[in-house]
Amino acid sequence: MLPIITEEISSEIFTEAFQDIHSWRKNMVQYLKEENPEINSAILEVAKHDENIDLKAVALGAYLSYRLLEIATEQEGIKLDA
CA separation for the pair 45, 48 (Å, rounded): 5
Enumerate the domain spans of the chain: 7-76
What is the structure's pLDDT at 79? 61
First CA to last CA distance, the chain: 14
DSSP 3: P
- What is the pLDDT, as a whole number, of residue 77? 81
Confidence (pLDDT) at 82: 43
Is residue 43 exposed (0-12), middle (13-18) or buried (19+ Cβ within 10 Å)? Answer: buried
Give per-residue pLDDT as tens, 48-63.
777 788 888 888 999 9
Q: Percentage of the chain with pLDDT > 70?
A: 93
pTM of this structure = 0.83
- State how far Cα 35 lies from the chain centre: 11
- CA 49 to CA 9: how far, in whole Å? 32
